[in-house]
Amino acid sequence: MKYWLVVLLFVPLLLAQDWKSYPYLPPGGTIAFPVDEGNHSQYGGSLGQGMEWWYLNFHLQSVTTGRHYSAMVTYFDFFLYPRIINVADEDQHLFHSFTSTGILNASVDSLNLTYLSTTGDVDFFRNLRDSTGMRPFQYQLQAGAGDYQLNLTLDLQKRPLLIGQNGLIYFSTGSSYYYSLTYLAVQGNIVFAGITDTVQGVAWMDHQYGPFFVQPGAGDSYEWFSVQLSNGVDICFWNAFTPQNTIPTDDQHRLSTLYLDDFHQDTTSQFRIERQKFWQYEPNAYFASQFVYADSIHDLYLTITPVFQEQVVPFINLSYFWEGSCTVSGTYQGNPVTGMAFAELLHIYREPQIELISPNGGEVVTDSIRIHWTLQNPDDGNPLRYDLFYSPDSGANFYPLVSGLTDTTFWWDVNGFPAGQGYLLSVVGYSVDSTIVGADTSDGFFRVEGSSALTSHSVVTKRFLLHGFYPNPFNNRLTIAITLPRNSRFSFAVYDVLGRLVYRSSVAQLSAGKHRLFWDGRDMSGREVGSGVYLVKLTGGGAQVVRKVMLVR
């Protein structure tokens, strides 16, 4: 982002701009310019049947010092008329957010908006004018709060992007007319902490209006992104969550609209967003902090990462959300791309509420036991993995049983664990980066008894005593516990279920007594083998024993 911003400023200027005149009606669209840049009073206001907003985000660079700034300004036309201004010094990781209420006046035939906040700030956002009238798709913004001000001119360089292909989208809370101005060349001044700096950069504008309602803290939850790539492709996409934290695959809950070039735009719901990292804002409140956007239809794969984490925006109803600039890297049709983005994150992730159902105390196990647990607050944005642990000493120590499970059921073969012993179980669920964690432990002990757990959990041969394999199943390392009555040569080999040799240990001369041997789940070449059932053959003192073990990656 820091080295190609200026280059990116001039690339769109080479494009023909036959659309850059008023009036302009995009082919097949439901939106007309300049009239739909103005106010739609039937939807907004305190008595309207919906809402309307004008949203801008900025990536800016100082002309004199090279310092990088980002900013966001939003004007809402609904109850109390909120306004949000965010400004950030990206080099110093300084972020300031100002939310106010006030009085909004907006023309109905063009973009001519003025705002008076209850704190005395006076803003305007309007079309530039000269002696001949309005300059099509050129704007002036003056917005600020105290020692933080923006005085900028904006000049659209790319054809307007109609979201949803025709500018009308539908979702669970209603419908919305929606367009984006994805590439506005910006110049002017920013005042940051009372210091004025001359800047240039790029901006993105969204305008939405219609019979719908969305507000942080009101049960609405989504993750939204605007992306500007170095190859000229721009993308607006989001995931919307249901109240049950699911993300259905329909276009009411996931939608991506792409500006491919000045003659091609496209819309799809056939993409996915994977969250790779999370960030804790306060106790039991997390935001996703790294995303992968994967669109196989357009062969577009991107990683989106916040420039820095601390960009949380307080809102008027004591709620909050995350909004800030991000860096982008990835590939488009096999070629490397970089870029910059803004993310607006209303979805807050919570710690998993796990309940261990069985065993939960009092069970007697003679062979194998079904371990089962439930997740009370599943979230499609945070698919969990689970680790299981057991304790043979009343919870003083817990030892790993298996890790990396994605299901909520696991069968445990207790072969290899001492008979007459009481155990506790613990299940731990965690996010992909282990930032978000929840756990539950059994309320009481279960006991291993019966035919599968012989005395001392041992198998006796004439030449050696096998105490067992543990843990079984295992994840990284299998332990083989034996006792030799006399000095003996000893080895073991591992085979897959087809009888093919996987691993053979060296032959060791062992002294009489107890020994532990280990297999790390690798073959003779040191490569990790896959999950599955394996046969372990022990050879010592002229005797052999074969037992099944299970490896779970």
The model's pLDDT over 14-39, given as tens digits with 9 standing for 90+, comes to 456 889 999 999 998 899 999 999 99
Q: What is the mean pLDDT of the chain?
A: 89
Quick check: 298 pLDDT over 90? yes
Quick check: 486 pLDDT over 90? no
Res. 457 pLDDT band, cuts 50 70 90: very low
Rounded average pLDDT over 135-154: 97
CATH top-level class for 354-448? mainly beta
| 32, 466, 485 from 460: Cα distances, Å | 86, 6, 11
- Cβ(483)–Cβ(456) below 8 Å: no
**Token duo for residue 98:** 């100002």
Res. 49 pLDDT band, cuts 50 70 90: confident
CA 389 – CA 399 distance, rounded (Å): 5
DSSP H helices in 11-83:
none
Quick check: 408 pLDDT over 90? yes
pLDDT score recorded for residue 419: 74
pLDDT score recorded for residue 466: 75
Rounded average pLDDT over 323-348: 98
Of the listed ranges 239-248, 411-420, 450-459, the least confidently predicted one is 450-459
pLDDT score recorded for residue 462: 47
Question: Contacts for 72-76 with beta carbons within 8 Å, 24 or more apart?
Answer: 72/323, 72/342, 73/123, 73/125, 73/141, 73/143, 73/150, 75/104, 75/113, 75/115, 75/123, 75/125, 76/44, 76/51, 76/52, 76/104
DSSP H helices in 237-308:
none
Same fold, 5-345 and 354-448: no
pLDDT score recorded for residue 459: 46
CATH fold of 458-551, please?
Immunoglobulin-like (2.60.40)
Peptide bond into 471 cis (omega under 30): yes
pLDDT > 90 fraction of the chain, expressed in percent and rounded: 67
Q: Name the strand (E) or helix (H) holding 399.
A: strand 399-405
Closest CA to 25 of 16, 15, 37: 37
Q: How many CA atoms lie within 13 A of 50 on its CB side?
A: 17
Q: How many CB atoms lie within 10 A of CB 71?
A: 27
Of the listed ranges 132-136, 355-359, 371-375, 494-498, the least confidently predicted one is 494-498
Q: How many CB atoms lie within 10 A of CB 10?
A: 10
Rounded average pLDDT over 339-358: 97
Quick check: 463 pLDDT over 60? no
Show me where the domains of the chain are located: 5-345, 354-448, 458-551
pLDDT score recorded for residue 175: 93
Closest CA to 157 of 191, 201, 194, 193: 201
Using left for φ > 0, alpha for ψ between -120 and 50, and beta otherwise, residue 56 falls in beta
pLDDT score recorded for residue 460: 43
**Token duo for residue 35:** 């009239």
The model's pLDDT over 413-438, given as tens digits with 9 standing for 90+, comes to 776 677 778 899 999 999 999 999 99
CATH top-level class for 5-345? mainly beta
pLDDT score recorded for residue 429: 95
Rounded average pLDDT over 308-330: 93
Rounded average pLDDT over 274-280: 97
Report CA Rg, the chain: 31
DSSP 430: E
